[in-house]
Amino acid sequence: MQTRWDVGEPHKPTINTSTEQLKSDLLTLNMGPQHPATHGVLRIEIWTDSEIVAHAIPHIGYLHRCMEKHCENLDFRGVIPFVDRLDYLASMNMEWTYAMTIEKMLGTEVPRRAELLRILTCELQRIASHLMAFGTYAIDLGAFSPFLYAFDYREKILRLFEEVSGARLLYNYIWIGGLWNDWSPEQISRVTAFCDDMEEEAKKYHELLSMNKIFIARTAHVGVMSVQDCIDFGATGPILRGAGMKWDLRKNEPYSLYSEFDFDVPVGTGEVGEPGDCWNRYIVRMREVVESIKIIRQVIEKLEPGSIMGKVPKVMKLPEGEVYFRSECPRGELAFHLVTKQDSKEPFRLKVRSPCFTHTSMLPRVAPGQMIADFVATVGSIDIVLGEIDR
Amino acid sequence: MHKELSDLINRNVSGANAVAYLTADAKKFDSSITVETSHIYKVVEFLKTNKTTSFNSLHCISGVDYTDYMEVCYMLTNYDPSAVRNLTLKVRVTDRVNAAIDSVVGQFVSADFLEREVYDMFGIKFNNHPDMRRILCPDDWEGFPLRKDYVAQKDYNGMTVYPDNKMNMEDREFIVRQNMIKKAQAEKAQ
């Protein structure tokens, strides 16, 4: 069989066929799989006309583990550590979405304290994930110090998680029916202290990076994705909100206890640049950090002692049926499509709808006509995690 | 809701043969609509362009292998708060050797990557797709991993990718054995 690397000529671009005429003038460059700006093992084949990108083709799959196949051979509880490894920067959100999918099928009632603590951990995780996005995005654009500031505060969250769950990155903490471990009052008071610090720190970040003249010059009016583009491509999360559409599953289709909480959904308004450009996507993330702090404060007010584990059968058998459950993760809407057979102990099919996968497919749309450096800024602003794309 | 939608599809797309599958427990499970395989493009076009439904976003395409047939599920979403929000649209593919259905890239650009993934994992070809290549596995990989009868290849370009002493072998054999025992018991009961 003829493989791709046997072919002498680069293969023809498939989406934007008009570049074919220019083929002799174009230079094919491989960005990745080891390029630092791709945040993992993503290879983007770019066709460049001097320094202008004519066409970009993302090649994914370098981290493919076929986790969906693995899950078909595991019981429902055993899937959770695999789900952790999807988006390894927001493992809590991944676990929670999976747990909610199973709980919906089982009809389990999760105790109120467990639900509140789940919201607490997942909002903390959202902050940690956005801090990571903030730090690495600054590195992409050549600013090193914001990364150190961000990691300082991300570390505080990870320390808390480590105390509570025993792991720093891949937790296996949110279980079907509840939580593995309870938070002590001392830990909760540390969360409060963290929230106070973080609120001040977020203001500092705006001075440090958001309103920095060089940063604005690099990101404003760069990589514009309109609302229509986002809807066509199925983009969600900060990408869609950055384009100016007020859409957040926590508000629009509230799951868990989110309907009880008072928070805003920040959108890209275009006070700098225009809605849908890199700067607006970035600022949506930074504002979401503040909104998450708001939610965490309300959770702490509502917390009451109680049980943290609901009633779950010891041998978990699910009835026949299927469910498509989605939730709002830091990077967009994560969804699980679960199909089960009668009295099955393992999923018949578990499909992960990952937000970054669809966001990567938007790159060929925004790339043509950009400078290479701007393209790096665009890839960074999407904030992709390859573990989730390749599964 | 699914009943009315399927009636609407049948009235407007001739030959679509839409059948609504309604679950007994709507709190726990999802309902869906199954349509004729050859009419998927027309149905999707209708659901997108028509005023009453106007599903404007395709979020996910998921394949399921039920061994005697394969199913492709399209998760459609509408951002309009007043309309029906989510719909699972299904088509069945019975031919396992030359599995092929029409692509919906003409209606939803998001289908580009999503359909490539279904092709990669289930071997269902999408006609009229602009770039029908594998997406997650290498181009010269053999077989389609998420099919139930998939057997992994032993060597790939001179590398051993599926050694005999693979770590989880016992577990897998255990499950296969359990399934065989179950099957034998079911046959005995009959």
How does pLDDT run across B39-92, given as a tens digit for each residue? Answer: 888 888 888 888 777 788 898 999 998 888 899 999 988 887 766 678 888 999
A13 against B22, higher pLDDT: B22
Q: Does the pLDDT at position A180 exceed 80? A: yes
* A232 vs B contacts (CB less than 8 Å): 57, 108-110
| Cβ contact, residue pair B30, A322, below 8 Å | yes
B67-91 as b/e: b if 16+ CB within 10 A:
eeebbbbbbbbbbeeeebeebbbbb
| Cβ contact, residue pair A232, B23, below 8 Å | no
A79 against B175, higher pLDDT: A79
- Of the candidates B110, B134, B150, the beta carbon closest to that of A358 is on B110
**Optimal mutation site among A59, A348, A349, interface B, most CBs of chain B within 10 A:** A349
Phi, psi torsion values for A48, nearest 5 degrees: -110, 140
Instruction: Look at chain A and count its residues.
Output: 391
SS (H, E, C) chain A: CCCHHHCCCCCCCCCCHHHHHHHHHCEEEEECCCCHHHCCCCEEEEEEECCEEEEEEEECCCCCCCHHHHHCCCCCCCCHHHHHCCCCCCHHHHHHHHHHHHHHHHCCCCCHHHHHHHHHHHHHHHHHHHHHHHHHHHHHCCCCHHHHHHHHHHHHHHHHHHHHHCCCCCCCCEECCEECCCCCHHHHHHHHHHHHHHHHHHHHHHHHHHCCHHHHHHHCCCCCCCHHHHHHHCCCCHHHHHCCCCCCHHHHCCCCCHHHCCCCCCCCCCCCCCCCCHHHHHHHHHHHHHHHHHHHHHHHHHCCCCCCECCCCCCCCECCEEEEEEEEECCEEEEEEEEECCCECCCCEEEEECHHHHHHCCHHHHCCCCEHHHHHHHHHHHCCCHHHHHC
Place of tokens 């089982």: A106
CATH number at residue B20: 3.30.460.80
Q: Where are the beta strands (DSSP E) in B12-154?
A: 19-21, 32-35, 57-65, 70-77, 86-93, 100-102, 125-127
pLDDT value at residue B49: 86
Q: Does the pLDDT at position A38 exceed 70? A: no
How far apart CA B19 and CA B129 sit, in angstroms, is: 26
| Cβ contact, residue pair A231, B57, below 8 Å | yes
Say whether both A131 and A13 belong to one domain: no
Instruction: Look at chain B and count its residues.
Output: 190
pLDDT value at residue A24: 56
Structural domain count, chain A: 2
Min Cα distance B11 → chain A (Å) is: 27
| Chain B contact present for A269, CB below 8 A | no
Say whether both B166 and B108 belong to one domain: no
Determine which of A12-16, B1-5, B66-70 has the lowest per-residue pLDDT on average. Answer: A12-16
Q: Are strands A349-353 and A332-340 parallel, antiparallel or unpaired?
A: antiparallel
Say whether both A45 and A147 belong to one domain: no
Say whether both A86 and A23 belong to one domain: no
Min Cα distance A390 → chain B (Å) is: 7
Say whether both B133 and B170 belong to one domain: no
Say whether both A215 and A114 belong to one domain: yes
Taking Cα atoms as reference points, which of A278, A286, A282 lies closest to residue A371?
A: A278
**Two tokens, residue A197:** 């610090």
Asked if residue A58 lies in contact with residue A386, where contact means CB atoms within 8 angstroms, the answer is: no
Min Cα distance A88 → chain B (Å) is: 19
Q: Does the pLDDT at position A200 exceed 60? A: yes
| Chain A contact present for B140, CB below 8 A | yes
Residue A49's domain spans which residues?
Answer: 4-59
Say whether both B66 and B156 belong to one domain: no
Place of tokens 């808390």: A160
How far apart CA A44 and CA A39 sit, in angstroms, is: 12
**Two tokens, residue A276:** 């849908």
Say whether both B46 and B86 belong to one domain: yes
The total of other beta-carbon atoms located within 10 Å of residue A48's CB is 18
The total of other beta-carbon atoms located within 10 Å of residue A22's CB is 13
Say whether both A246 and A348 belong to one domain: yes
A211 against A93, higher pLDDT: A93
| Chain B contact present for A1, CB below 8 A | yes
Min Cα distance A122 → chain B (Å) is: 23
Say whether both A10 and A54 belong to one domain: yes
**Mean pLDDT to the nearest integer, A217-238:** 88
Strand-pair partners of A48? A27, A53
Say whether both B190 and B120 belong to one domain: no
Min Cα distance B92 → chain A (Å) is: 15
How far apart CA A254 and CA A248 sit, in angstroms, is: 9
pLDDT value at residue A193: 92
How far apart CA A15 and CA A132 sit, in angstroms, is: 32
Determine which of A15-19, A112-116, A151-155, A355-359 has the lowest per-residue pLDDT on average. Answer: A15-19
Phi, psi torsion values for A349, nearest 5 degrees: -155, 130
Say whether both B62 and B140 belong to one domain: yes
Find the closest chain B residue to A357 by CA distance.
B113
- A232 inside domain: yes
- A67 inside domain: no
Going by C-beta distance under 8 Å and a sequence separation of 6 or more, which residues neighbour residue B107? Answer: B41, B44, B45, B48, B58
Residues 151-180 of B with CB under 8 A from A: 168, 171-172, 175
Strand-pair partners of B62? B73
How far apart CA B55 and CA B45 sit, in angstroms, is: 10
Say whether both B100 and B141 belong to one domain: yes
* B130 vs A contacts (CB less than 8 Å): 14-15
- What is the signed CA dihedral for B127, B133, B135, B141, rounded to 10 degrees? 120
- A228 inside domain: yes
- Cα first-last separation, chain B: 39
Say whether both A188 and A306 belong to one domain: yes
Say whether both B170 and B113 belong to one domain: no
ipTM > 0.90, yes or no: no
pLDDT cut 70: percent of chain B above it: 93
Helix (H) / strand (E) element for B176: namely helix B169-189
Say whether both A156 and A102 belong to one domain: yes
Strand-pair partners of B112? none
| Cβ contact, residue pair A353, B60, below 8 Å | yes
* B136 vs A contacts (CB less than 8 Å): 60-61, 64, 66, 390-391
Say whether both B44 and B110 belong to one domain: yes
Say whether both B156 and B85 belong to one domain: no
Determine which of A148-162, B27-41, B147-161 has the lowest per-residue pLDDT on average. Answer: B147-161
CATH number at residue A306: 1.10.645.10
Say whether both B41 and B119 belong to one domain: yes
**Mean pLDDT to the nearest integer, A43-52:** 85
| Cβ contact, residue pair B60, A73, below 8 Å | no
Say whether both A28 and A109 belong to one domain: no
Residue B24's domain spans which residues?
Answer: 2-149
Q: Tell me the pLDDT band of A293, cut-offs 50, 70 and 90.
A: very high
Say whether both A97 and A232 belong to one domain: yes
Say whether both B33 and B7 belong to one domain: yes
pLDDT value at residue A97: 92
Domain boundary among A13, A30, A59: A59
Say whether both A300 and A270 belong to one domain: yes
**Mean pLDDT to the nearest integer, A109-123:** 91
How far apart CA A61 and CA A376 sit, in angstroms, is: 20
Residues 229-248 of A with CB under 8 A from B: 231-234, 236, 245, 247
* B173 vs A contacts (CB less than 8 Å): none
**Two tokens, residue B120:** 């990669």
- Cα first-last separation, chain A: 26
| Cβ contact, residue pair B60, A365, below 8 Å | no
- A65 inside domain: no
Residues 108-137 of B with CB under 8 A from A: 108-110, 112-114, 117, 121, 130-131, 134-137
Structural domain count, chain B: 2
Say whether both A300 and A358 belong to one domain: yes
| Cβ contact, residue pair A322, B85, below 8 Å | no
B165 against A17, higher pLDDT: B165
